[in-house]
Structure 1
Amino acid sequence: MGWKGTVRSIGTVVRAAERDAKRRQRDLEKQQKQYEKMQELEQAAYEVEVYENHIDVIQSTHKECNSPINWNEVASSKQPTEPKRAKDCESEARRSLESYKPGFIDRIFKREEKKRVFLSQKIDEAIKKDEVKYKCSFSTWEKSTEEWTESVAMAKALLDGKAEAKIEAIDSLQPFDEISNLGSSLSVSVYDNGILEATINVHGSGIVPSETKSLLKNGKLSVKNMPKGKFNEIYQDYVCSCVLRVGNELFSAIPDNIVIVTAVDELLNSQTGHLEETPILSIAVSRSTMERLNLETIDPSDSMGNFKHNMSFKKTKGFERVSRINPEGLELHQLARSST
């Protein structure tokens, strides 16, 4: 299990169940195996449902999160109790010998002495069995103690704000699996003042569909180019949803109260004519504000107003280049509702 399994078992709080969009996605993936056997209209209905589900999934990434780790409880947890030698098997074997009373058959065939020797041998076997059990328990205890020692050391380092511990915890716990499954990639770094920044490459053009799918009145499939405005709105919700999810996952993995999350993607540089990877949203996320939000009902894009953030977005043009949030002097009282 390792120390990450140990900390997950200490002081954790279970988050909300898997969101509906993810459950439906899994059901649709199962149905995909039957796609070739479907009639034309069934295939059309299936394709529309897959399309609509995909939009739902990428706009609701923020609704799930790993269980948070209570690092204070990990740091103050007690060492596993060392096992003691037990004589359970030996005691049972001795009771069998002491309580033995030869029956009629044993007396007739003079098997009493032989039976006592047999029961005596069982005691020797029981002693060895007790020893094997003890060694097994001791080995398990040694491993648990080693994991506990590592967990406590990690917890104390995190509570002390050690940058290396933050990076190690995130690397080991890998809280961003689902986001990477969507096609986004992520890296983390820690500034000199201890504030951690996660940079997520959202790869929007590969995630947000360029076409819409719907059913005509006759039940047949209609595929059209997605209007630019609609594409940009979905893209904005996707980016904001990912940023919220990253912030929440960071809070689940490390005890920090403030993190910076910056989303980057390729934008056209009008001076060079080339696509360049650039920040499109940078947000300072406070734990207290995140905990007050109802993630099930918020609009991801609208929710950015709850945080100090840099975002330049227009429905007709989409995202524009912005600066990363400056971590210098970033204090909790500065993270109240702000406009950019």
Structure 2
Amino acid sequence: MSKLFDIAVIGATGTVGETLVQLLEERAFPLASLHLLAGSASAGQSVPFKGKNLRVRELADFDFAKVQLVFFCAGASVTQAYAAKAQGAGCTVIDLSGALPLQQAPRLVPEANAELLAGLQAPFLLSSPQPLVVALALVLAPLRAALALQKINVMAAQAVSSQGREGVAELARQTTELLNMRPLESRVFDRQIAFNLLAQVGGLEEEGGHALLERQLAEELKQVLALPELRVAATCVQAPVFFGDSLAVSLQAAETVDLAQVARLLEAQGGIELVEAGDYPSVVGDAVGQDEVYVGRLRTGLDDPAELNLWIASDNVRKGSALNAVQIGELLIKHYL
């Protein structure tokens, strides 16, 4: 009989937390017990699981010695306050907030850098990268050696669900106000998001003009791909889309790109759906609600045959966040726990 594990999900009432619980059921995760936790404002709510409604308990009162594995799906402040406590109690921690430094909690995308785990010891302290990095790493991992990647340029259009339920509610409210010709008030974003694109996501670094999110994307991607010298240029924009990230990517290879070889490598990579030439994927109708990352519009540069351009569509909540974290957990229990 397979070993069963006692598991906790922190932030179980959030968009990502609820999706993660759903995936634990869908993928028949080997659970002995499941503890759903949240802050005092959400404690007492219920989350459906295997035909029942599980009550969400208050995080502050939880004894981490009861579980072997903890998923942190809440904000950065929660991870910073409780991750060390959980690991100190012998729990393996999988964080989705990005709050911990790379050196302390390495970023893991099982399809791209599973070998990272061989050099670590339990109880593990790991992070699932930001959803943009999960999508990029999944697509670039099978190409990095064949193309001898030199530089990556990415323009990422992020869904408002990257800001949690508040972002989704804000886009819905603004859209309703505008369609009903009522005055619009921006509450979550710094200006109108409905029917608009915002050229900045989150705060900026003190110097250089880059968003903190863009810096994080570059650092996490280099670590996951094990390409510390890779040059990364990133622009993250907030798009008026509820769920699903879209990325326009340009890769600089060392030599002329063989598009047929690129297509073969992508088709052989698990977790990728390559859209045939002449078509392209979108988040609505393709990626949202799916476990795969969709790739299309493969083409070389207009003036540079060593340049590869492509388009990526991915569900930021399901694949980019919850599923990647669950896959990390599955990898750990199969080989390391």
TM-score (norm 1): 0.26
1 or 2, which has the higher helix percentage? 1
1 or 2, which has the higher strand percentage? 2
Structure showing greater Rg? 1
